[in-house]
Amino acid sequence: MQRIHFSWNLPATTRRIGLALTAGALAIGFAGCKENTVEILPDAGLGYYPVAVGNYWIYAVADTTWSTASSQGSQVTPSVPTVSAFQFRETIASSFTDAAGKTAYRLVRSKRLTSADAWVDDSIFTLSPSAQSVILNRNNLRTLELIFPVREGRLWNFNAYSNNSEDTVTAETRRYRHVGEPFSTTVSGTTKAYPATVTTTNEGTAQEDDAYYVKTYQQVFAKGVGPVLRRRRRFSNFYMNVGSTVVFVPKSYTFGYSRRETLIEYKVN
């Protein structure tokens, strides 16, 4: 800071003016010497789904379907699972301006049976990211995949933009869990660890998990990576009436289906 000299061998009026100017200069000088401070805002969580042209994610997919159980007297024919394995690749191929004047992205999903096969385009979705949310448009059904800021226990309506019979406009059918926690996946003996993730799960009218029915949908997003796991389960448990008692047969169903998509490779910009 520059040193200011002041002489007392001056007329009183001049000294008063000088003192006023000096005080002002000192105030400006001290303000200039004060360190600049930057307010650090909380992380909203936008990094849980990085969206940019050229990003892609490859998933190992396991579809499991259970045969319908049956009974004759006290004898039960249990459900038998059939597993179908293949791979999905989701690529952000291009961007465009949507009807609202906002930037949206074309997400091309391709499929192959094994890593030795060529990719075949399966379908095209639309991703619409913003500072408030990430919206996925799949087969003209728009879902709120994420909302920001990400916060433990926060609820929202997964089908807020759709007329879905499972909920209403004001229903809260999706919840954040395990915000910022580590998570790992294992496919064919290979384990991948992610240090910071968030899990979204069904809630309210969108979830059924009791003795009769099971319907769940779980997604795990890793910071700086995107979706690393998707798991859907729908079961109608098989039961018999024995006299006045309802007897459930473990792992047997009148309907049973699950899909697990596990990330095995990705590139994000």
Q: How does pLDDT run across 186-208, given as a tens digit for each residue?
A: 999 999 999 999 999 999 888 88
pLDDT of the residue at 14: 47
- Inter-residue long-range contacts of 90-97, CB under 8 Å, 24+ positions, other chains counted: 90/56, 90/57, 90/58, 90/59, 90/125, 91/54, 91/55, 91/56, 92/51, 92/52, 92/53, 92/54, 92/55, 92/56, 92/127, 93/53, 94/53, 95/53
pLDDT of the residue at 208: 84
What Rg do the C-alpha atoms of the chain give, in angstroms?
A: 30
With contact defined as beta carbons under 8 Å apart, do 77 and 69 qualify? yes
DSSP conformation class of 4: -
Task: Determine the 3-state secondary structure of 13 from DSSP.
Answer: helix
Q: What is the arithmetic mean of pLDDT over 163-190?
A: 85
pLDDT of the residue at 36: 63
What is the token pair recorded at 61? Answer: 């997919």
pLDDT of the residue at 35: 58
pLDDT of the residue at 72: 87
- What is the β-pairing status of strands 141-147 and 56-66? unpaired
With contact defined as beta carbons under 8 Å apart, do 201 and 174 qualify? yes
Residue type, 268: V
How many Cβ atoms from other residues are within 10 Å of residue 244's Cβ?
A: 5
pTM: 0.81
What is the token pair recorded at 110? Answer: 């391709």
CA distances from 184 to 85, 191, 194, 218 (A): 20, 7, 6, 15
pLDDT of the residue at 2: 46
Q: What is the arithmetic mean of pLDDT over 71-78?
A: 88
**Model confidence at 264, in pLDDT bands (50, 70, 90)?**
very high
Tens digit of each residue's pLDDT (9 = 90 or more) over 34-63: 456 666 667 899 999 999 999 999 999 999
DSSP conformation class of 47: G
Q: Which residues contact 126 (CB under 8 A, 6 or more apart)?
A: 98, 104, 105, 106, 107, 136, 137
Q: 209 or 230, which is more confident? A: 230
Q: Is 243 left (phi over 0), alpha (psi -120 to 50) or beta?
A: left
- Is pLDDT above 90 for 214? yes
